[in-house]
Amino acid sequence: MPIIIIKEEETMFEEHAKCNICKKEYTSTHVEVSPGTIVYVCQSCLDMAKTNFIWLCMGCGKAYIRPKQLVINRLKDPELKKAYMLCEDMVIVQGIDVCIECDPETISAYMGSLHTAVEC
Ligand SMILES: [Zn+2]
Ligand SMILES: [Zn+2]
């Protein structure tokens, strides 16, 4: 599961494509998740990512957005909680290989601890 931290200097690109998170805005801000896999994030989604964690499914492209405070408050694991609290002020889009939408059969086993963090 790659963790993508969007930095300011990565916003200077010429190509424009539809935002992978909201699928509405066109943006030039993008990051390379893995070789050949580009994720575009528009300005309004970047602003939203300051107060929300964003999970993006690499399988079907569905984005899951959860308020950071809610996610942190619900975590039981102290180590995991600490890790997420360190991310509280960062802009993070986390890529996941499959989600409940595109692979409901294997997702419960795959997501494991993440599942409790993602579910509201
Ligand atoms: Zn967007
Ligand atoms: Zn999916």
3-state DSSP assignment of residue 40:
strand
Domain borders along the chain are 3-118
- 0.85 exceeded by pTM: no
* Three-state DSSP class for residue 5: strand
How many A from CA of 27 to the centre of ligand 1?
8
The pLDDT tens digits for 78-120 are 998 888 888 887 787 888 888 888 866 654 554 444 544 444 4
3-state secondary structure of 90: coil
CB under 5 Å of ion ligand 1: residues: 19, 21-22, 25, 42, 45
Please list, in sequence order, all residues whose beta carbon lies within 8 angstroms of the beta carbon of residue 43, skipping any fewer than 6 positions away.
25, 27, 29
Pair 72, 88: CB distance under 8 Å: yes
